[in-house]
Structures are given as structure tokens and as C-alpha cells.
Amino acid sequence: MAAATIRLFLPKGDAQSLRTAELLNWTGKAVAGPRSELDDLLSRDEMEKSGVYFLIGVDRDSGKPAAYIGEAEVVRDRLKQHRDKEFWVQAIAFVSKDENLTKSHIRYLEGRLIEEAQKVGRFIVINNQSSGSRLPESDREDMEVFLTRIRQLLPVLGCDILTPLVQTVGGVPQKPLIGRIKGLNSRGQRTGKGFVVFAGSEAVVALRPSAPSYVAEARSQLKADGTLVEDADKLRFTRDTEFSSPSLAGAIICGGHVNGLTFWKDEDGRNLKEIEGGS
């Protein structure tokens, strides 16, 4: 992704309150705010424009991050209609500073955003279908550029719904780290939020007697949602899964406490502590 200059404005001086974000030489603008300040958000002039929006919260049943992704010709009117959706606590809208976003444009963006969010898999997308829209080739390319800007600004506004679990450098995946135990192999990678274990990685079936309760609870949840499945005499990850640390990732795989900095190694046998320059 290309370098970018971002202008972030805090109308109330609080980064957890209302905020706007713009990119140099971009016709779009992002406006975000907590549900507790919805009236202030709706009163802004940007909300009169057409655009796409995210309602961010937590799924009541699973406890996982959840999002509703929508589009509207007048964002203010549509957000008012979502007061009855209890799950969401944060709203983020993307509009155009000119009048060039048509109904077809925003429907196209909505469809692409839902598609990408589902592919990344960080959030449960509550509205998992959209009408989408077919656009002429030139318009489609313009909207793909708009989509790129949305990807850049969402993390700045505190939402990683479109941030891939597997990090790349210049579009090339980084070499994975490897974890081995009892003939089982796992592969993963450091991330900005901790450590991701790749789909297909293997884990032991049995928990150690000394396994901390949080490891047992995490494993149970991963089994319940289909992330970990039994495969003969082992468990297998069905999807890329991010953990808060290399040690937690290793503990889930090994069925008990491990030091993630020494468990994960590269192809040359150097452990994570050595790779990161630890003594």
C-alpha cells in the first residue's frame, strides 16, 4: 500500500470522541464517533451526503467483534434507522466531499466491503449479503481507489475489519515461523496485534494437567466455533487465527504453557527471541 498523509481532526479534543479523517488529494472523508454521541455525529454536514458506513460492536452470542456494513444516499437518515440495533457502539462513515458518489457507486462499495470483511474474517458481518452494483470499467476503477483509501483510514479510526491476518511486504507473504511438538507442525507469523497461526496447523489433542484455565477455555471456544477440529490423533486449525501473543498461540497448540519466544522458530532454527534481537 502506498505511503499516505492523513489529516486527523478531533472536534472535541478527545481521540475516543468524534473525529474526522482525510487523505491528501482524496475527495473522500471519514467521520466516526461513539454511539453515545450519535446526535452530535448526525448533526454534522457530512452526514447529508451519500456514502458507506460501518456499525461496530460485539456479537451477543459469541462475544466476537461484529459489524453491520451499509450504504445510503443520505447517511444521516439511514443511521437514524439503526437506533434499534443494540449491538453497535461505534459508527464510521465514508462520504465524498464532492457530489460524485452515485447510488450505483455506493452500492458497489457496500458489496466490496462486505466481501472483503468476510474474507478477512476478523468480524462477524451481520448483513452478509448486499445488492451490489455493476459499474462501467472506469467507474469501477475509481471505486477501487476509494476502497483503498477506506482500507488505509479504518485502522487509524480504530477498526481493523479490513486488515488481513496474514501480513505481507510489498504484496509478498513473510516467511512463516514454525512450531513443532510430538511430530506435529504448525506455522504462523508475528502480527501487529500478537501472533497468527495459519490454517492447516496442527495441535495436540489432550491438555496438560498443568494447563492454565484460560488455555482450556480458549481451546473450548475454538472447538465450538469450528476453528479447531479433530483430525485423527490431532487437532487442526481450519482458518488463520490471531492470538494476543506468541505464547498464547503456542499454548493452544501444545495444550499447556509454553514460552512463545523460544517455541516459534524460522527455517534456520532461530527462535523468535533470537530473530527479534533478544539476549
The model's pLDDT over 98-123, given as tens digits with 9 standing for 90+, comes to: 888 999 999 999 999 999 999 999 99
If asked whether residues 151 and 195 sit together in one domain, one would say no
Q: What is the pLDDT of residues 32-64, one digit of tens each?
A: 999 999 999 999 999 999 999 999 999 988 888
If asked whether residues 23 and 62 sit together in one domain, one would say yes
How far is it, in rounded angstroms, from Cα 20 to Cα 99?
19
Could you give the number of structural domains in the chain?
2
Of 191 and 91, more confident:
91
If asked whether residues 120 and 192 sit together in one domain, one would say no
Grid coordinates representing 10 are 478531533
The mean pLDDT value of the chain amounts to 92
- HSE (side-chain half, CA atoms, 13 Å) at 170: 0
If asked whether residues 80 and 178 sit together in one domain, one would say no
Of 156, 179, 195, the residue that ends a domain is: 156
Q: Does the pLDDT value for residue 168 go beyond 80? A: no
User: Quick check: 48 and 31 in contact, CB under 8 A?
Assistant: no
Q: Does the pLDDT value for residue 132 go beyond 90? A: no
Residue-number span of the structural domain to which 68 is assigned:
6-156
0.85 surpassed by pTM: no
Of 116, 131, 156, the residue that ends a domain is: 156
The percent of residues above 70 in pLDDT, for the chain, comes to 96
239 lies in some domain: yes
If asked whether residues 145 and 225 sit together in one domain, one would say no
163 lies in some domain: no
Of 135, 156, 177, the residue that ends a domain is: 156
Counting beta carbons within 10 angstroms of the beta carbon of residue 33, is it exposed (0 to 12), middle (13 to 18) or buried (19 or more)?
buried
Q: Does the pLDDT value for residue 244 go beyond 90? A: yes
Predicted confidence at residue 203, as pLDDT, reads 97
Grid coordinates representing 54 are 460501518
Grid coordinates representing 51 are 456514502
If asked whether residues 178 and 266 sit together in one domain, one would say yes
If asked whether residues 109 and 204 sit together in one domain, one would say no
161 lies in some domain: no
CA distances for 19 relative to 8, 31, 35, 72, 158, angstroms: 7, 6, 13, 20, 11
162 lies in some domain: no
